[in-house]
Amino acid sequence: MKWDKMGKIYTANGQQAWAYSHAMIPTPELLGNGVIRMYITFCNKQGIGRIGFVDIDAKNPEKVLAISSEPLLDKGQPGCFDENGVVATSIVTLADGKKLLYYVGFELGTKIRYRLLTGLAVSDDGGQSFSRVQRTPVLERSNTELYFRCGPFVLYENQIFRMWYVAGDQWITINGKEMPVYTINYLESKDGVTWGPKGKVCIDIAHKGEHGFGRPYLIKHDGKYKMFYSIRVPNLGYRLGYAESQDGIDWQRKDDEIGLDVSPTGWDSEMVCYSAVIAVNNKYMMFYNGNNFGQTGFGWAEFQEW
């Protein structure tokens, strides 16, 4: 697999209080009019995330066409699982035009650093605004996935909602700092709202040093499901991983084939993470974050060969 890095597209520059910094976890949607809408999480000065968008030209992705002036989805109300910020990770457009936005809510802890659970918001106006389906998570914590049920990617296939997500119930101490432990798991749902309490592990910790994974993103190509995800490694932050599957449930890791790593210098020289791959004009494009979990913004790479 070979990708050509094309450059950085956008990062927040303090122009709005709610979008003071970052441009995290690019989540693309091809709108059909030559525009790619990137659902993006921006942060205020306190680091609280809100979901907005950056519209880019499908033929020239470095050309920014529009930026949201207000959040599409604000943080949750006090006491809710998303009171300390929200992060978009997956968008699903149904046949009737309704859009389902799956997002992660941040809840700070006292005995642990935080919990990350999944919420759902819906748009009936073409993505101009979103409202929560409920104030509680659609992936609530469970006995075996106690602290983390987050980072979802959702496909709607054969009248079934299929979700690949990050799950975990433990922390480990690395260099004196408590760090989360995650796997990538799989669940199904009939309505996209009600999911089971425990998923099947798809991508497990298998190599020395890795302790978790970030936001899976899937495409179907050449008769296979192909998953792009982030691998969390101590002292390095995130690197990108890759796996293949015939059915979307049993996976073979092929991380060495990802073909995209950090640059020698610049905005993605320390970290590459949170990748999303889509087909545009018969070409595959990857959008991803760079250093410090998206503080330096998001950029893109163009696929050359499998």
- Cα(135)–Cα(130) distance, integer angstroms: 13
Closest by CA to 161, choosing from 130, 128, 133, 182, is 133
> Residue 129 pLDDT more than 90?
yes
Which domains are seen in the chain, by residue range? 2-305 (2.115.10.20)
Question: If you average pLDDT over residues 18-38, what whole number do you get?
Answer: 95
Percent of the chain, pLDDT > 90?
A: 88
pTM of the model: 0.96
Q: In one letter, which amino acid is 72?
A: L
The pLDDT tens digits of the residues spanning 232-255 come to 887 777 899 999 999 999 999 999
pLDDT at position 233: 83
> Residue 194 pLDDT more than 80?
yes
Where does the pLDDT of residue 306 fall: very low under 50, low under 70, confident under 90, or very high at 90 and above?
Answer: low
Average pLDDT, the chain: 95
Q: For residue 199, give the DSSP letter.
A: P
Token pair belonging to 293: 């979990």
> SS3 for 150?
strand
> Residue 175 pLDDT more than 90?
no
- Cα(122)–Cα(120) distance, integer angstroms: 7
- Cα(193)–Cα(134) distance, integer angstroms: 9
Question: If you average pLDDT over residues 164-177, what whole number do you get?
Answer: 92
Contacts of 158 (CB under 8 A, 6+ apart): none
Cβ atoms within 10 Å of 227's Cβ, excluding its own: 24
At 294, which helix (H) or strand (E)? helix 291-294
